[in-house]
C-alpha cells in the first residue's frame, strides 16, 4: 500500500486550487461537498467558478497562484491542465511543506483523491493507486447501488441517538439493535421521513431492552480450499455475525478479514508435523467461549466434515449443552479436480470416488489398496506429501499399472495454485522434485485434462542444489 487512506478534518481549513477549466471543475465539485474554505486561483475561470464565487461558496482570485497565497493552506490542488504551471504550483507547495495533488500526475502528487461514494456522514473512499480508474468506477457503481440513499439520514439520526442506545448492555444486544436499525427497520421507515425514523429508533430500543440474551452458539463452517469466492453465502453470513472465530492454519488471511471487525480471531493451527494446538485445548476453547453466550464460528479449511476431526468437537460441544450448526464447504478434492479440468467421477471409468488420508493417528494410513489398484480407480489423497513413497509402493505391490496417472495439485483455487502431472512409477521422485510448500492433494487416476499444455504452462521450480 503506497497510499494510506485517511479522512482529513478540513472543516474551516483552507484548500487552495490552482486552475479554472475542466480538471479544476471536477475537483471543485467534490471539494464543495466539504466544509473547507476554498480558494481558487485562475486567470481565466470557467463560468461555474464565477457563479460559485458570487454565491460565496469559494473565493476566486483572477491571477496565477503565488507562493504567498499558500500561507494558511492545508491542501493544494494543481489543476491547470498545463504541465509547466502545475509543476510550478507543486514546487511551491512542496517548498511550503503542504500536501499537493497534481491532477492526473500520480508521481508529482503527495496525495491522491479517491473515488467517493457520498452518504454523508457515511463516506466510502475507493483507491486503486492510479492502477485502474475503470476498476474504481466499477466498484463505486457497485457500492452506490448497494447503499440506500437514505443511509446518510439514518446515520445522522443514529448518531444523535447513540446516548440513548447506551441503555442497552454492551456487546451482542447493542450490536443487534444497530444492525436492525441500519439494515431492516431503518431503511423501511426512511421512505416516510425523519419522524418515522426517530419513532423506529425508539421502538427498536424498547424491543431490544426487553430482549433476552442469546445463548452461545457454535457454527462449524467449511471455509473451502482458500479462494474467498468459494465461501458459501452461509459461511459469509456466519463470519459477519461472529463474536469469535476459531480457525485452522490452512484458512488464509483473506477469508479471516471477512469476519466482523470486532470479532476475536483465534488460531488453533494444526499443520502436518509442525506445532499444533492439542484437540482437548480446542474443545476447551469452544466450550469456554460458548458458555459466555458468544456466537462462535469454528472455521475449518475445505469441508469441516472431511479430515477435520469434526465429530470430536461436536461431541465435546454437545456434552457441554451448547447449540451448534454445520455449514458445509468445498473440499480440496473438488477444487483440485476443477484446477486440472477433470471430473472426479465419469461414466464407464469410475462409479466410485475415494477420499483418503495419507496419515492417520497411527502414522501412514493403510487403505483398501486392492480396490485402489484397479484400472480406472479415482481417489483424492489428502495430507499425502510425506506418504507418496508409501502409497506408490502399496499400489504397485497390489498390481496397479506403473503408468497410472496421478496429478499433484498444490494450493488448489489459490493464486499460487500448481498442478503437476505424474505417474505411479515416478510419484515419489516427482513429489520431491515438486518441492511443495503449500497444501496439496494427489488425484490418483487423473491426469490434468491437457497434460502436455499443463506441463508447459506450469513451471516446476528448479530444485536448489547446495
Ligand atoms: N477439511 C479439508 C481437509 C483438511 S486436511 C478439506 O475438506 O479440504 C488438510 C489437507 O487438505 C492438506 O494436507 C491437503 O492435502 C488438503 N488441502 C487443503 N486445502 C488445499 C488446497 N487449497 N489445495 C490442495 N490441497 C488442499
pLDDT tens for each residue of the chain, 466 residues long: 889 999 999 999 999 999 999 999 999 999 999 999 999 999 999 999 999 999 999 999 999 999 999 988 999 999 999 999 999 999 999 999 999 999 989 999 999 999 899 998 899 999 988 788 788 889 999 999 888 888 899 999 999 999 999 888 777 788 889 988 988 888 889 888 899 999 999 999 998 888 766 688 999 999 999 999 999 999 999 999 898 999 999 999 999 999 988 789 999 975 555 567 889 999 999 999 998 788 999 999 999 999 999 999 999 999 999 999 999 999 999 999 999 999 999 999 999 999 999 987 778 889 999 999 999 999 999 999 999 999 999 999 999 999 999 999 999 999 999 999 999 999 999 999 999 999 999 999 999 997 655 454 544 444 444 3
Ligand 1 pocket check for 331: Cβ under 6 Å: yes
In angstroms, rounded to a whole number, what is the distance separating the alpha carbons of residues 440 and 420? 11
Which of the listed residues 221, 420, 441, 446 should we mutate to test ligand 1's pocket, taking the one with most ligand atoms within 8 A of CB?
Answer: 441
**DSSP H stretches of helix in 46-193:** 47-54, 83-95, 133-146, 151-160, 162-165, 172-180, 186-190
Which CATH code is given to the segment(s) 14-113?
Answer: 3.40.50.720
In angstroms, rounded to a whole number, what is the distance separating the alpha carbons of residues 195 and 201? 10
Cα Rg, the chain, nearest whole Å:
30
pLDDT of 187 reads: 86
Which of the listed residues 332, 361, 438 should we mutate to test ligand 1's pocket, taking the one with most ligand atoms within 8 A of CB?
Answer: 332
Name the region of 13 (left: φ>0; alpha: ψ -120 to 50; beta: rest): beta
Ligand 1 pocket check for 220: Cβ under 6 Å: no
C-alpha distances out from residue 87 to 18, 28, 84, 457, Å: 11, 20, 5, 46
**375-397: b (≥16 Cβ within 10 Å) or e:** eebbbbbbbbbebbebbbebbbe
Cβ-proximal residues to 172 (8 Å cutoff; 6+ apart), any chain = 213, 214, 243, 293, 295
Say which CATH architecture domain 333-457 belongs to.
2-Layer Sandwich (3.30)
Domain ranges of the chain: 14-113, 151-210, 217-330, 333-457
CA angle 188, 192, 196 (to 5 degrees): 80
**Alpha carbon nearest to ligand 1 atom 11, residue:** 382
Q: Which CATH number fits domain 217-330: 3.40.1010.10, 1.10.3720.10, 3.60.15.10, 3.30.410.40?
A: 3.40.1010.10
Ligand 1 pocket check for 248: Cβ under 6 Å: no
Residue with cell 476498476: 135
In angstroms, rounded to a whole number, what is the distance separating the alpha carbons of residues 17 and 100? 10
Ligand 1 pocket check for 412: Cβ under 6 Å: yes
Phi, psi angles (nearest 5°) of residue 232: -80, 165
CA angle 324, 234, 416 (to 5 degrees): 110
Residue with cell 503565488: 66
pLDDT of 133 reads: 78
Ligand 1 pocket check for 407: Cβ under 6 Å: no
Please give the model's pTM, rounded to 2 decimal places.
0.61
- Point out the residues that are catalytic: 248, 270
Instruction: Map residue 423 onto helix, strand or coil.
Output: strand
C-alpha distances out from residue 330 to 284, 297, 339, 377, 448, Å: 27, 17, 13, 22, 20
Amino acid at each position: 500500500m503506497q497510499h494510506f487512506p485517511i479522512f482529513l478534518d478540513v472543516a474551516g481549513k483552507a484548500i487552495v486550487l490552482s486552475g479554472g477549466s475542466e480538471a479544476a471543475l471536477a475537483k471543485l465539485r467534490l471539494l464543495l461537498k466539504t466544509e473547507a474554505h476554498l480558494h481558487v486561483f485562475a486567470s481565466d475561470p470557467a463560468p461555474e467558478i464565477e457563479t460559485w464565487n458570487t454565491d460565496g461558496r469559494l473565493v476566486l482570485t483572477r491571477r496565477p497562484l503565488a507562493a504567498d497565497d499558500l500561507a494558511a493552506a492545508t491542501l493544494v490542488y494543481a489543476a491547470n491542465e498545463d504541465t509547466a504551471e502545475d509543476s510550478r504550483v507543486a514546487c511551491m507547495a512542496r517548498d511550503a511543506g503542504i500536501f499537493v495533488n497534481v491532477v492526473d500526475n500520480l508521481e508529482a502528487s503527495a496525495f491522491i483523491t479517491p473515488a467517493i461514494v457520498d452518504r454523508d456522514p457515511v463516506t466510502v473512499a475507493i483507491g486503486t493507486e492510479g492502477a485502474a480508474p475503470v476498476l474504481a468506477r466499477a466498484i463505486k457503481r457497485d457500492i452506490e447501488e448497494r447503499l440506500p440513499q437514505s443511509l446518510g439520514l439514518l446515520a445522522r439520526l443514529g448518531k444523535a441517538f447513540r446516548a440513548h442506545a447506551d441503555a442497552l448492555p454492551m456487546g451482542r444486544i447493542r450490536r443487534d439493535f444497530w444492525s436492525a436499525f441500519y439494515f431492516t427497520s431503518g431503511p423501511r421507515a426512511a421512505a416516510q421521513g425523519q419522524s418515522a425514523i426517530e419513532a423506529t429508533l425508539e421502538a427498536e430500543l424498547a424491543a431490544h431492552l426487553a430482549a433476552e440474551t442469546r445463548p452461545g452458539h457454535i457454527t462449524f463452517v467449511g471455509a473451502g480450499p482458500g479462494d474467498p469466492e468459494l465461501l458459501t453465502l452461509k459461511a459469509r453470513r456466519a463470519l459477519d455475525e461472529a463474536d469469535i472465530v476459531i480457525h485452522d492454519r490452512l484458512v488464509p488471511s483473506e477469508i479471516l478479514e471477512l469476519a466482523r471487525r470486532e470479532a476475536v480471531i483465534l488460531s488453533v493451527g494444526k499443520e502436518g508435523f509442525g506445532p499444533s494446538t492439542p484437540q482437548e485445548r480446542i474443545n476447551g476453547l469452544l466450550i469456554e467461549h460458548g458458555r459466555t453466550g458468544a456466537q462462535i464460528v469454528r472455521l475449518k479449511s475445505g469441508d469441516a466434515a472431511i479430515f477435520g476431526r469434526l465429530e470430536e468437537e461436536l461431541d465435546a460441544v454437545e456434552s457441554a449443552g451448547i447449540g451448534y450448526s454445520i455449514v458445509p464447504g468445498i473440499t480440496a478434492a473438488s477444487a483440485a479436480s476443477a484446477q486440472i479440468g477433470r471430473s472426479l467421477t465419469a461414466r464407464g471409468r469410475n462409479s466410485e470416488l475415494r477420499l483418503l488420508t495419507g496419515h492417520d493417528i497411527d502414522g501412514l494410513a493403510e487403505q483398501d489398496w486392492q480396490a485402489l489398484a484397479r484400472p480406472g480407480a479415482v481417489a483424492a489423497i489428502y495430507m499425502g506429501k510425506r506418504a507418496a513413497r508409501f502409497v506408490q509402493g502399496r499400489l504397485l505391490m497390489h498390481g496397479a499399472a506403473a503408468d497410472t496417472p496421478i496429478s499433484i495439485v498444490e494450493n488448489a483455487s489459490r493464486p499460487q495454485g500448481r498442478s503437476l502431472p505424474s505417474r505411479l512409477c515416478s510419484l515419489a521422485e516427482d513429489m520431491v522434485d515438486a518441492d511443495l510448500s503449500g497444501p496439496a492433494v494427489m488425484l490418483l487416476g487423473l491426469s490434468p485434462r491437457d497434460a502436455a499444455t499443463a506441463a508447459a504452462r506450469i513451471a516446476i521450480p528448479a530444485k536448489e542444489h547446495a
